[in-house]
Structure 1
Amino acid sequence: MELRLLRSFVVVAEELNVGRAALKLHLTQPSLSRQIAALEHDLGVELFARVRKRFVLTAAGETFLADARELLRRSDEAVRTAQRTQRGELGTLRLRFVQSATFEVLPRILGPFRAAYPQVILDLESMTTIRQTEALRDGRIDVGLLRPASAGGTDAVQLGPRLTSRVVSADPLVVALPAQHRLARRKRVRLADLAEEAFVLYSRPSGPAVHDTIVGFCRAAGFSPRIEQEAADVQTIVSLVAAGLGVSLLITPAPLSNPDFVVYRELSDDLPPWQLSVAWSPDNRSPVLARFLESV
């Protein structure tokens, strides 16, 4: 059954006049009459009858009219849904992010995107850079907010031949100190001032690039950090610093904390910032991904 025949039938049923219906449909009366006859032939029922010179719906026509309207409504909705999906207005975005992105960049990026595309489903989860790159290459996620392998670098980073990335933030390190620490009174701290301190650092399995780079910075300043505690997430690191178990170096922006327990101080050393990048596979043709990258 052709949709054009259904549309013609609905207009004739609403007008109950072939002449007026033909004008609305931009058809000739004979053409419209042939369409109605073809539809009746396909259905095997009469849809219209003449009663006392009036054009009326039969009982079958009355029943069929409600169903025809619903079929046309669903057909139009299917077309609109397909078009909106093609434009990236509908669908799912599988986004993963390193934890340090949650304090500033993630809300700054997601807010405008959600406002522009409110019906896109956001599949969000925290994930390390290594796991993100694997998931991107395997096609298990669409886009990642991750840290390049080392601090510094250019503003266009290639994560291997199958991934592309662009830097969205360049974030320095800060020192996290217990509030009563001897260095807490200073506005800025040198790395060398921390040579004798116990450290609380990111555990290497959870973030080898971050761990190794921070250790490398310390060694360049003339000492190897004495790591007393390790943690997989920054909130735990801050809690351990607050408890007096050591000092730490954190990628900014650092989580909000009570200044009665933990303070953050800038480093006076000339260190490269740590870049946060948005990464994706150029083979991923998702319209939702394309809209997200435009928004970013």
Structure 2
Amino acid sequence: MVAGNGKDPTFQQLRCFRVLAQELHFGRAAALLHITQPPLTRHIQNLEQVVGVQLFVRVGRSVDLTPAGKAFQVECDRVLKRLDRGIEQARKVASGEAGDLVIGYVEPLGIDFLPRVLGAFRDLHPEHNLRLREMHTLDQVEALLDGAIDCGLLRTTTSSTDELVFETVWRDELVVALSERHTLARRFTDVIPLLELEHEPFVVYETSLGIGILTTILAACSNAGFSPAVAHAAGSTPMLLALVAGGEGVGLVSSEIAKVPRPGLVFRRIAGTPVVSDVLMGWRRNDEPAVLADLRHVIAQRTSK
């Protein structure tokens, strides 16, 4: 709005104008604004001086908008609606009901787990701006401590800091990844006993990324009666899968990864008791966004189907 005398309209003046433009009657408008008519008249007169044009014309005991007033009404409504939305949003952000929610997650969860969960969460909290960051487990722990993310979806960690809280939200079943040329891929077309891998070289994740899946693999192999021979430690899932596809060994990976066809690879479920790697949600103990309880609830609902 361009002021006629170098001043800007006040929001109180704009609110008075909006109500009077709707009611077209000073008495009714004053009652709705919880003021008397003289202050309302002064606000309108001062607004007209600031804008530099007449906004209302008296018609008997009522008033009507001038053509300039009608044009001003459209823009005034837009300004006040944006102001009201801004005030509401600021209050929601201050109370944790809105704003950015930064979520870290380990790579396999981006394939099917997160799409299942985040759509339902978005329906519950459309006012939140979700920001997703793919990060290894140890990086998520550091990001939580530094305040770079609000919560993390990560594997089991050795972190023992009292500053963070971890809660298991999902049990990720592991499957065997084999080169399509591997003899075991031809012998076992559905499930494969873990003991069949006793004499196979293993490709695992580097411990610098976290030890969640590696700990699960070592425990499962031990329960099956052998200790795996680790031939390669990969720094990422694509590297691990490339080594397996190239015949450098076998791998145990998230069942999420098996949902996407991979050239040169086949995946087999493990016979008997499933081998699972816990997925945890982590957050700062004294800084928990109010919406995390809803996120945990949505995860429980969507992953139980």
Same fold (TM over 0.5): yes
| Deviation for aligned residue 1:148 | 1.3
Aligned to 2:114, which of 93, 106, 117?
106
Paired residue total: 286
Return the letter of the residue paired with 2:209.
S
Counterparts in 2 of 1:206-221, with a 5 A limit? 206-219=209-222, 221=224
Match of 1:33 among 31, 38, 42: 38
Distance 1:252 1:160 in 2: 30
- Which amino acid counterpart does residue 249 of structure 2 have in structure 1? G
Q: 1:74 aligns with which of 82, 98, 113?
A: 82
Q: 1:108 to 1:17 in 2, by over 3 A?
A: closer
For the residue of structure 2 that corresponds to 1:199, the secondary structure is strand
Return closer, same or farther for 1:248/1:74 CA change in 2, 3 Å cut-off: closer
Determine the C-alpha separation between the residues in 1 that align with 2:220 and 2:67.
85
Q: Equivalent residue of 1:183, what SS?
A: helix
Distance 1:32 1:170, change over 3 A: same
Tell me the equivalent position of 1:153.
Answer: none
2:176 is the counterpart of 1:171: no
Paired residue for 1:140, among 134, 144, 148? 148
Opposite residue 233 of structure 1, the aligned amino acid is: S
Q: Which of 243, 246, 255 is matched with 1:243 structurally?
A: 246
1:144 to partner: Cα distance? 0.8
Aligned CA distance change for structure 1 residues 232 and 59 (closer, same or farther; 3 Å): same
* Partner amino acid, structure 2, of 1:204: T
Find the counterpart in structure 2 of residue 203 from structure 1.
206
Contact 1:9 1:36 in 2 (8 A): no
CA distance in 1 between counterparts of 2:56 and 2:266 reads: 86
Following the alignment from structure 2 to structure 1, what is the Cα–Cα distance between the partners of residues 273 and 214? 19
The offset of 1:42, in angstroms, is: 8.7
Q: Which of residues 10, 16, 23 is equivalent to 1:8?
A: 16
Q: Assess if the C-alpha contact under 8 Å between 2:138 and 2:209 holds in 1.
A: no
TM-score (norm: length of structure 1): 0.75
Residue identity matched to 1:180: R
In structure 2, list runs of 5 or more residues that go unmatched: 1-8, 300-305
Query: 1:255 is matched with which residue?
Result: 258
Structure 1 stretch displaced more, 234-243 or 137-146: 234-243
- Residues 283 and 39 of structure 1, relative CA distance in 2, 3 Å threshold: farther
Alignment CA distance shift 1:83-1:226 (3 Å)? same
Query: 1:72-117 deviations in whole A, cap 9, x for unaligned?
Result: 3333232333355467664211111112322332222112123333
Deviation, structure 1 residue 240: 2.2
Contact 2:216-2:275 at 8 Å conserved across structures: no
Q: Pick from 275, 280, 284 the counterpart of residue 278 of structure 2.
A: 275
Q: Distance in 1 between matches of 2:260 and 2:77?
A: 60
Counterpart of 1:228 in structure 2 is: 231
Q: Which residue of structure 1 aligns with residue 6 of structure 2? A: none
Q: What CA deviation, in whole Å up to 9, does each residue of 1:251-288 have, x standing for no partner?
A: 32333465883332333465752111222123225355
Q: 1:61 to 1:222 in 2, by over 3 A?
A: closer
Q: State whether residues 88 and 291 of structure 1, in contact with CA within 8 Å, keep that contact through their aligned partners in structure 2.
A: no
Secondary structure of 1:284's match? coil
> Normalising by the residue count of structure 2, what TM-score does the alignment of the two structures yield?
0.73
8 Å Cα contact 2:103/2:133 also seen in 1: yes
**Aligned sequence identity (%):** 33
Change (3 A) 1:294 1:197: closer
Secondary structure, counterpart of 1:210 in structure 2: helix
Amino acid at match of 1:179: E
Secondary structure of 2:208 counterpart: coil
The superposition leaves residues 171-224 of structure 1 with CA deviations (integer Å, 9 ceiling, x where unpaired) of 233222223333232344344332322222212222334334424544554544
Q: Which amino acid aligns with 1:142?
A: D
CA separation of 1:163/1:37 partners in 2, compared to 1, >3 Å: closer, same or farther? Answer: same
Two-structure CA RMSD over aligned residues (Å): 3.9
1:21-100 paired onto structure 2 within 5 Å:
21-22=29-30, 25=33, 31-37=36-42, 40=45, 68-83=76-91, 85=93, 90-100=98-108
Return the offset for 1:295: 3.5
Return the alpha-carbon distance in structure 1 between the equivalents of residues 267 and 71 of structure 2.
Answer: 74
Distance of aligned partners of 1:67 and 1:130 in 2 relative to their CA distance in 1, 3 Å threshold = same
